[in-house]
Every structure is written in structure tokens, then in C-alpha cells.
Amino acid sequence: MIQPFSRALKFAFSVVQTTAALALALASFTANAAPIKTPHAEVELVSADTALVPGQTSRIGLSIKHATHWHTYWKNPGDSGYPTKVTWALPAGVTVSEFDWPAPQRLRTGPLVNFGYENEVILPASVTIPAAAAAGSEITIKGKAEWLVCKDVCIPEDGEVSLTLPVAATAQKRDAKAWAGVEARIPAALSGWSGEARVSGREMWIALKPAAGAPKMSKFDVFPEVEQITEPAAQRVYSTNDANFPFGAMLRLVDGAKVPENFKLVVSSPESIGASAKFGFVSVTTKTLAEPQSIQGYTLLADASKDAPASDVAAPGAGVAAGASGGMSLLAAIAFAFVGGMILNLMPCVFPVLSLKILSFAQHAGQGHSAVERRGAMRAHGLFYAIGVVVSFLALAGALLALKGAGSAVGWGFQLQNPGVVWVLAVIFFLIGLNLMGAFEVGTMAPSSLLSFTAKNPGVDAFFSGVLAVIAASPCTAPFMGAALGFALTQSALAALIVFAALGVGMALPYVILAWFPKWLDRLPRPGPWMITFKQVLAFPMFLTVVWLIWVIAQQATIDGAAIALVGLVGIAFGAWLLGSVRARARMAGALAAALAVVLAWPSTAMVEASNAVSAASATSASSAQWKPWNPEEIAKLNAEGKSVFVDFTAAWCVSCQANKRFVLTRDDVQKAFAQKNVVLMRADWTNRDERITQALKQMNRSGVPVYALHAPGKPVELLPELLTVGIVTTTIARL
């Protein structure tokens, strides 16, 4: 009995011994606890080495594997968020450094721009243990990790992370290649590069010159290390033809920000430069933007404080004169927008709506049985009209901000760059004209409940007349308005909405005043048969507006597109004629015919592509014509040769542009003035969407057309007013 028991005891002891050895080997091999897993990220501590060496520094890192499209944040999170951190609980004598943050990515969520990481990232740090640590022992490094992981929503997460490593006289690398990639993403020194930085008001301008022999850098980005000192969404980067400083950036400081000494930035480009050194920012490059793991970082040290010597480098648009909004304050932008909104009422694109307002005032003059009732009706009409105008401008601002936040290059009048939108406007104005002519009455086909609602709420009509006024005004830019909108679209969402609201208040105010003090209405005759004739006459400005819109479609979707649109208008007219019938079935057929005509005449994508091809061909063949196609590279070359360049930023849907072109720019005396000073004429056509033109407008602090820019050698860009006169142009050219 004793012998079998002895053999069993020996077997059990050998199993325990083998298990312990395996456990020790496994502990020294894996070295880290199970990762923290959530639906959005997997987080754990990892080490670069197999062991910790007494008195020496080893590398560990917080590994974060993000779920698809989720992200966490850099040390400067940008517009929102907070950086990942670990609160360490360490044995005596053990120290862990701050994270050596890898270069981040630019992440957009709506109007917000953040700096952070997607996919997989390791945040490395250095750990040091005491020189007296005994070989063969183990040290556990642990702490509480906290991170904010975001996609459409943000979720704060945390958990305990730990890593147990043996202490040994020597250590081996676990995965030398992988950790080399981790270290490569940390900004290092850039050798041989130079650059300059300067601060002007709230704008910080940076210019960079690569080292001799460095590979060409086609793209780059800029990330400030200091949190809450710049506005990430307002930042611009660019390349120039300046051999000394071919790359640059403009960062907008937050209001009241103080730039610290040795302010650092991070610049990223899609190609590895492969050098190392000193200057004035933190620079990062990446082989491809689609592979964040290939990012290679570099550090430049520079003094970008307000006391730093001013740079002679002029960034594109930095020296814009005559109405530039670069140093404009929010109060000045509000005042400019308000005045521009008032002047907008006098622009030709609003004339059709003005005629409707006259008719509306005449109709309201006869409402009510007493002067008090008529006055009340007029005042309510004016207020609801103003609400419609302001709400419409705020809706346009919201659409602009949302598209810009999503990465689209858009500006004022962006909706008219789509021929489908232009076609819808043509249909609306055509139907208004037919209604004014008496072809059909809305009341004959509208539901009785809707008619009852509008009868009880007359302000609804006034509200939608305000909406229509803004739609009609969107192709125009009034004096003062361009600078205000250019400023607004580089500010925060709140500031932009305030400026657009001021624009709406300015546009609506004249009508509110007329409605609030309607003494002038006493001079109008009482409503009667004369109003029928007057109403029919007002249809013709609507039809003229339709003619202009069809011409715009011809520019955007070829003459074939315009012809199809005209056929569609005939179909709509036929449907409107049926709508005016007394028979219910005829009215239903008319509504169906009109809807079918709208759909069939919709400009197709193929038409737009054909128009773009024709435009490109005509631009190529127009090099010998009087107006050359806009080319920013050629402008720099012509300026270097001592020649001035006048650029007309225009669009077919911009009524102010067309008026200036026909009544000023094509005049013989104006053309003679250009010829006498040997001014080269260029035209930047923004009729269809062109991101290059949008960016050029941004650099001049403008968001829409018309813009008239004079590039003279050795001088800042001079912007002329939105409404030109012969005297303004000839006087400006005479100063060259």
C-alpha cells in the first residue's frame, strides 16, 4: 500500500512542479493582464522588452484598438474631447514618464475638428526601476486608464490596466519591427529645415522651407500642441511658388489667447522626409494619408511669440487690402452685415420680390374696417415677413456650416452651383408668374383646412414671402456683405449665426419700418379692379427672372439642358392651364402633368459633365483672348515679370457679376485703362463647383462672388467693391 501511495505522491509533486514552471514561463512571456474590452475599444498595457533591467529605462505603452470609425484624443483634443490618461499606482522607486504622444490625425465631426487617433495606436512611455532591484524578482506596473471614445456620440470609459515584468540583468525586444514603428510616429528633430512665424492680430502665419535634398512635400497639416489657443476649423494650409518658403499655414488664435514662448506646432505631410533637426514647430510626415501607422514625426523649435521679429513672408491672402476682413471684429462684422442686408434690397436679384411686396402692401391697406385694424394687419405682416427673412438666413448659415464641417468647400450662393436647384427656382418663379397672370388660383386646389388655417393666420403668407425674398437674394452680394460673410465663415458657429442674423435683420428692416408706420399707404387707392391689372403686370418681372435662370442652366448643363428646361416650362404651363379648370379631374391631370414636366426636365449629371468639358476646352483655347482663364501659378509668374493681373471672380447665377461685366468691365474706356497699364485680365468662373476658387476666396476673406482682385507686383492684393463703376476701376488702375 505504501509503494503505490509513494508513486502517486511523486507524480502529484512532478505535476505541481511542471505547472509552476509553465506558469512562471508564461508569466514572463505574456507579462500583461487581460485587456479591457468594450464595444468601442480594446485597451491594455504592453511592453517593448521581455524584462526590466535595474537602473535602466524600458519602454511600455498603452495600446488602444478602436472599433471601426471610433476614435480617442491627442494631448490637444481640438474643438472638444479630452486626452487619454493613466493614473499610476507604482511600487516604491519605480517611475513612469508622461506619454510620448504620436502624431495625430485631423478628425471631423459635423462642424467640429478634433485631433486624435483611429484604428490602432500605442501611447508609449518610459519606465525606470531602482538600480538595487533584485534580478529574478517581478515588478507590477498598474494604474487606472481613462479615455473618451467618440463616433457620433462620445462615451467616457475607464479601467484598471496592469503589466507584470521580471527583473533581469538583460532584456530582449519583443517585436523590434513593431516598436520601431511606434517610435517613428513620435515627433523627432528635423535637420536642415528652416522657417518663419509671425502673429498679426488673431492670425498666426507660418512659413516652412525644406532641407536641401528633402523629398517634395505635396500635402501637410498643422496641429498646435497647446490646447484651446487656436480654432482648428479656421486653420488653412497652402503651398506657394516662393522658392524660399514653399509651404505655409494660417492658424486663427482664439479670442484673448496669449501665444506662449516657443509655441509648438505639428505639421504632417504624405511623404516621409527622413531627416532630423531644429527650428520652430513640431512637424509630422506620413507616407500616405490613408495609412496613419506610416506617420513619421519631426520636431521644429521656433519662437512664434508676439515678440518674435516680423516675417517678410507674405502668405496668400495675408496682405489683402481694400476691405479685407482679416482684422475685423465680431461687432464690425455685425455692422457690415446689417448695412449689407439693407443694401441687398436694392440689388437687381431682389427686384421681382419687391414688386410682390408692393402688391402685398396694397392688399393689406384695405384690410380691416378701421384705421386701427388696418395698422395692426400691416404691422403683423411686417413682423412675420422679418421672421421669415431672418429664419431663412439662419437656415442658409446652418447649411453652410454643416457642409464646411463635413469637409465641403462651399461659399455664399453655393446652392446655385447645382443646376437642379436653379431648375427648381425657375419652376417656382414661373408658377408665381402664371398665378399672377390668372392661369390658376392656389385656392382652387388647396385643401380647405389649409385655406382656413391661412385665413386665420395671415402671417403665414408674410413669413413665406420673406423666405422667397432670401431665395431671390441668394445670387447677389451687396457692398459690405462680402467682408462680413467672409469673416463669419471663419469663426465659431455661434458667431457665424449672429452675423447671418444681422444680415437678415438689415434686409427686413426697411419693410418693418414701412409696415409699422404706414402713413404712406394713404396715398394708395383702395383695393379694386386696378389691382387685377397691376397683379398681371407684376408677372413679367417673374418671367424675366425665369429667362435668367434658364440662361444659367445653359451655362451649367449646356444649351441642350436649357432646351429641355424650356420644354419642361411648356409642360408646366399646360399643367397650370388644366389646374385653372373648373373640373376636378382636369385639375388632378394638371397637377400630374406639371409634376411630370418638372421631373423630366431635371438637369442630368451627364449634362453637367458635358458642360464642364466644353468649359475646359474653351478655357484652353482662350489663352489668346482678352480674358484668360484664372491661373494662380501664372499670376505669380506675371507679377515676377512686373505685370499686374486683374481677376474677375464671377458666376453665371450671380446677377451683380453679370451687371458689372456688361455695364463696367466691357466698356471701352475701362478696357483702354487696362491696356495702357498692361494689365493682364483673368476670369475665375465659379458657376459650377470649383474647390480651387473656393479656397482662393477664403484666402481673401470672402465667401461668395463677385470679387475683383488686383495683383500688382510688390503690393498686397487689392480688392475692389462688389458694385463697380467705371470711375472706381479706372481710378484704381491709374494708381499702378
Among 181, 205, 235, the domain boundary falls at: 181
Domain harbouring 176, CATH code: 2.60.40.1250
- Host H or E run for residue 88: strand 85-89
Q: In what order do the strands lie in the sheet with 295-299?
A: 188-189, 295-299, 282-286, 265-268, 221-224
Separation between Cα atoms, residue 522 and residue 116, nearest integer Å:
66
- Start-to-end CA span in the chain (Å): 118
| Region of poorest pLDDT, from 103-107, 346-350, 531-535, 703-707 | 346-350
Name which of 124, 112, 110, 120 is nearest 72 in CA terms: 120
Residues 124 and 252 placed together within one structural domain of the fold: no
The whole domain housing 621 covers: 612-734
Separation between Cα atoms, residue 714 and residue 699, nearest integer Å:
18
Number of domains in the chain: 3
Label residue 95 by pLDDT band (50, 70, 90): very high
Among 166, 181, 196, the domain boundary falls at: 181
Label residue 636 by pLDDT band (50, 70, 90): confident
Helix/strand/coil (H, E, C) string of 136-169? Answer: CCEEEEEEEEEEEEECCCEEEEEEEEEEEEEECC
The string of DSSP codes covering 340-384 is HHHHHTTSGGGHHHHHHHHHHHHHHHT-SSSHHHHHHHHHHHHHH
Residues 202 and 176 placed together within one structural domain of the fold: no
Residues 163 and 192 placed together within one structural domain of the fold: no
When the pLDDT of each residue in the chain is averaged and rounded to a whole number, the result is 74
pTM, entire model: 0.46
| Residue whose C-alpha cell reads 467705371 in the numeric block | 726
CA angle 497, 498, 502 (to 5 degrees): 115
What pLDDT does residue 235 have?
77
Average pLDDT over residues 663-677: 90
Residues 169 and 35 placed together within one structural domain of the fold: yes
Label residue 105 by pLDDT band (50, 70, 90): confident
Helix/strand/coil (H, E, C) string of 168-224? Answer: CCCCCECCHHHHHHHHHCCCEECCCCEEEEEEECCEEEEEEECCCCCCCCCCCEEEE
Residues 44 and 94 placed together within one structural domain of the fold: yes
Residues 153 and 192 placed together within one structural domain of the fold: no
**CA gyration radius for the chain?**
34
pLDDT in tens, 290-318: 333 333 344 443 332 233 333 333 333 33
Residues 123 and 220 placed together within one structural domain of the fold: no
Residues 48 and 117 placed together within one structural domain of the fold: yes
**Considering the domain boundaries, does residue 262 fall inside one?**
yes
Separation between Cα atoms, residue 592 and residue 267, nearest integer Å:
58
More confident position, 238 or 659: 659
Residues 171 and 198 placed together within one structural domain of the fold: no
Residues 216 and 99 placed together within one structural domain of the fold: no
pLDDT in tens, 208-234: 777 776 655 555 667 777 777 788 877
Domain harbouring 715, CATH code: 3.40.30.10
| Region of poorest pLDDT, from 135-139, 366-370, 661-665, 723-727 | 366-370
**Considering the domain boundaries, does residue 523 fall inside one?**
no
**Percentage of the chain modeled with pLDDT above 70:** 66
Residue 707 makes CB contacts below 8 A (sequence gap 6+) with: 482, 647, 649, 697, 700, 719, 722
